[in-house]
Amino acid sequence: MKKFKFTIEGSSFEVSIHEVNKNIVEIEVNGTPFTVEIEKSETSTISGIKTVSSIATPPLPITIPTAIKSPLPGVIKKILVTKGQKVKRGDILLIMESMKMENNITAEKDGVVKALHINVDQTVMQGDILIDFEGSVEVVKQSSKTNASASNTNGKHLVTSPLPGVILKTLVSVGQKVKRGDTLLIMESMKMENNILADKDGVVKSITVEIGQSVMQGDTLFEINQ
């Protein structure tokens, strides 16, 4: 059995190849078994042994489960798909209202809706899972490199800005306990005031912004110990 580690769009996958029978391969991805069919490539005979010159010249298409998460806090206004429905890249999955605007949440790739975790009029936070989705991705062997991730913070959680804007008011202080849904600060973006909420319970470890400061989407606003 051969084992490989891949990184695809920032996600890590462990792939084990259990059995190769002609052009059918039994593999396991993160503990989930799959049967994959590969195209035969040209072969050569060395010392009477028939060997494949290249295993799968094209990348292997593998169905990988993914979670579609909310890009910002808001309220679900309309759900446009159902469990088991096939969708194409770019299809609108749902409509949510955030910062007094309607936002379309779209599929990033072709696939099948496996589960819905939201209802109409439900309030969601940035990062909440909306839909479980299975899409086909191409696995390409990559060199093993150490990937630094903002999520690897030893129990610390970073609250980041969901959009560019200017900080108008901070409503918490270092050491303060906060609950999921508490307003942490108010920022102005697109000529509107927007409340930035805590998406987890915890204690404010640090505040990395000041009143009047301009921030970009993805900038760290707070560090919270969980």
As given in the structure block, the two tokens for residue 159 are 């609250």
Percent over 90 (pLDDT), the chain: 27
Q: Residue 196's closest CA among 169, 226, 225?
A: 169
As given in the structure block, the two tokens for residue 139 are 């696995």
Query: Is residue 151 included in any domain, yes or no?
Result: no
**Is 135 a residue whose pLDDT tops 80?**
no
Which residues form the domain of 76? 66-133
Instruction: State which of 64, 82, 98 marks the end of a domain.
Output: 64
**Is 177 a residue whose pLDDT tops 80?**
yes
Residue 146: the pLDDT is: 32
Compute how many other C-beta atoms are within 10 angstroms of the C-beta atom of residue 13: 15
Residue 154: the pLDDT is: 60
Average pLDDT, integer, range 86-104? 86
Average pLDDT, integer, range 145-151? 36
Same structural domain for residues 127 and 178? no
Same structural domain for residues 20 and 38? yes
The number of domains in the chain is 3
Residue 79: the pLDDT is: 95
Only one residue has tokens 């580690």, namely: 5
Residue 18: the pLDDT is: 67
Instruction: State which of 118, 133, 148 marks the end of a domain.
Output: 133
Average pLDDT, integer, range 82-108? 87
Query: Is residue 103 included in any domain, yes or no?
Result: yes
Q: Residue 107's closest CA among 130, 76, 139, 141?
A: 130
Same structural domain for residues 128 and 70? yes
* Structure-model confidence comparison of residues 221 and 193, the more confident one: 221
Instruction: State which of 17, 37, 64 marks the end of a domain.
Output: 64
Query: Is residue 184 included in any domain, yes or no?
Result: yes
Residue 14: the pLDDT is: 74
Which tens digits make up the pLDDT trace of 116-132? 999 999 999 888 899 98
Report the CATH number at residue 199: 2.40.50.100
Same structural domain for residues 48 and 87? no
> Under a CB-based contact definition with an 8 Å cutoff, are residues 117 and 124 in contact?
no
Same structural domain for residues 126 and 172? no
**Is 147 a residue whose pLDDT tops 60?**
no
For residue 142, with 0-12 CB atoms within 10 Å meaning exposed, 13-18 middle and 19 or more buried, which class applies?
exposed
Per-residue b or e along 77-103, where b marks 16 or more CB atoms closer than 10 Å to that residue's CB: eebebeeeeebeeeeebbbbebbeeeb
Same structural domain for residues 84 and 111? yes
User: Is pTM, for the whole model, over 0.85?
Assistant: no
What is the average pLDDT value for the chain, to the nearest integer?
76
* Structure-model confidence comparison of residues 135 and 175, the more confident one: 175
* 140 DSSP assignment: -
Phi first, then psi, for residue 127 (nearest 5°) are: 95, -10
Query: Is residue 82 included in any domain, yes or no?
Result: yes
Query: Is residue 146 included in any domain, yes or no?
Result: no
Average pLDDT, integer, range 63-84? 85
Which tens digits make up the pLDDT trace of 159-176? 888 878 899 999 999 999
Query: Is residue 214 included in any domain, yes or no?
Result: yes
Residue 38: the pLDDT is: 61
